[in-house]
């Protein structure tokens, strides 16, 4: 099955390491993805999270782009309420000018952090969040060719004429509706918030309006893949993500934890952790293929963007290889049991 697979990379800072090493791993991951034939690698804006070093997203994209040749790179995403649309147009216009045909711009409405982050960013988040649809349109207008601007007389230089592809990101129905109305591709964050996944996909496709950007819906499902030679090894590495989610729920976030054997999740929060991890495929090539076939049967995504927050970098690179082997074994829609 020739289904586009892409990578979501948050520049995870693992226990026993530091941000500089995480950036080196970002480059190595993108180079490996490029060699293997992944479609794109995206980096996400988060703030005040010890385990995530991709906060200055456009800077990180520039660094990785300078060390790769052909793979698409982008934001998955920029949290637009934190920024002026003009500044983002200029940043991504610069990236697109330096690396033509390789840059994507995914946009989210969340702040990418807690109330302390919002205060530090000096933003009225409620007002900025409410402006998100208008800000998306303003941002795209800055990147249109000269003479075709409809919303502003200000020119983004660089930026004007780059028409950087814009994607709407979300984990709720709001993003699905906005992406459909604007005729943009839509990526759903089912790697940590899968509760509204099916409904969001249905709404997006049903309400989609063709635009100058896109003639038909393009739905991207984010998922976690932890593939290994054995089920035991895959479960061992997957314990890293489980521990991270336990930390999110219990408000005890730290660096990306080391994997452990026979991990036990507190019974009181186990259902919540399991719900957050429904968008995951873990195990051998055959097990991952079976799980991905089920996602394909339920949703028929046009693309998968895969989160692989391993503690062990070598195991992550191997998982990237095994994920593509699993893709080759994914059952056609009419063959899924």
CB 173 within 8 A of CB 182: no
Q: Which two tokens stand for residue 309?
A: 């927050």
> Which of the residue ranges 4-18, 107-121, 188-202, 213-227 would you say has the lowest mean pLDDT?
107-121
* 168 and 201 Cβ atoms separated by less than 8 Å: no
Helix (H) or strand (E) segment spanning residue 281? strand 280-283
- The residues, any chain, with a CB within 8 Å of residue 63's CB and separated by 6 or more, are 23, 26, 27
Task: Give the Cα separation of 208 and 23 in Å (integer).
Answer: 37
Q: Give me the residue label for tokens 């995914």.
A: 106
Peptide bond into 121 cis (omega under 30): no
Answer yes or no: are the C-beta atoms of 226 and 238 closer than 8 Å: yes
pLDDT, tens digit, 9 for 90 and up, residues 92-151: 999 999 999 999 999 999 876 677 777 777 667 778 778 999 999 999 999 999 999 999
User: Rounded to the nearest 5 degrees, what angle is found at the Cα of 226, between the Cα atoms of 291 and 39?
Assistant: 85
In order of their start, the domains of the chain are: 5-264+284-335 (3.20.20.30)
Beta bridge partners of 224: 280, 307
Calculate what percentage of the chain has a pLDDT beyond 70: 96
Distance, CA of 238 to CA of 4 (rounded, Å): 23
Q: Report helix, strand or coil for 137.
A: helix
Reduce the DSSP state of residue 304 to 3 states and report it. strand
pLDDT per residue as tens digits for the range 213-238: 999 999 999 999 999 999 999 999 99
For residue 1, the model assigns a pLDDT of 53
Cβ–Cβ < 8 Å for 234, 241: no
Summarize pLDDT for 45-91 with one digit per residue, the tens: 998 889 999 999 999 999 999 999 999 999 999 999 999 999 999 99
């Amino acid at each position: 099955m020739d289904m586009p697979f892409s990578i979501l990379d948050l520049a995870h800072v693992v226990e026993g390491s530091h941000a500089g090493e995480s950036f080196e791993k970002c480059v190595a991951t993108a180079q490996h993805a490029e060699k293997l034939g992944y479609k794109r690698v995206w980096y996400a804006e988060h703030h005040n999270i010890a385990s995530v070093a991709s906060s200055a997203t456009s800077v990180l994209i520039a660094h990785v782009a300078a060390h790769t040749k052909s793979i698409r790179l982008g934001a998955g995403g920029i949290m637009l309420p934190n920024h002026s649309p003009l500044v983002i147009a200029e940043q991504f216009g610069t990236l697109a000018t330096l690396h033509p045909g390789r840059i994507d711009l995914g946009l989210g409405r969340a702040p990418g952090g807690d109330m302390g982050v919002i205060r530090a960013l000096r933003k009225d988040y409620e007002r900025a969040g409410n402006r998100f649809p208008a800000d998306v349109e303003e941002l795209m207008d800055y990147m249109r060719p000269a003479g075709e601007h409809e919303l502003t007389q200000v020119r983004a230089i660089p930026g004007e004429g780059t028409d950087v592809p814009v994607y709407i990101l979300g984990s709720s129905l709001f993003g699905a509706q906005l992406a459909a109305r604007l005729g943009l591709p839509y990526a759903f964050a089912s790697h940590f918030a899968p509760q509204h996944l099916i409904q969001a996909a249905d709404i997006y496709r049903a309400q989609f309006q063709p635009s100058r950007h896109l003639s038909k819906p393009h739905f991207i499902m984010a998922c976690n893949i932890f593939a290994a030679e054995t089920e035991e090894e895959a479960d061992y590495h997957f314990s890293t993500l489980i521990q991270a989610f336990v930390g999110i729920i219990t408000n005890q976030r730290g660096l990306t934890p080391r994997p452990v054997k026979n991990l036990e999740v507190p019974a009181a929060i186990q259902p919540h952790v399991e719900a957050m991890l429904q968008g995951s495929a873990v195990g051998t090539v055959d097990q991952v293929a079976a799980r991905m076939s089920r996602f394909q049967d339920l949703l028929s995504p046009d693309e998968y963007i895969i989160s692989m927050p391993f503690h062990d970098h070598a195991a992550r690179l191997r998982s990237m290889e095994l994920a593509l082997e699993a893709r080759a074994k994914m059952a056609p829609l009419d063959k899924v049991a």
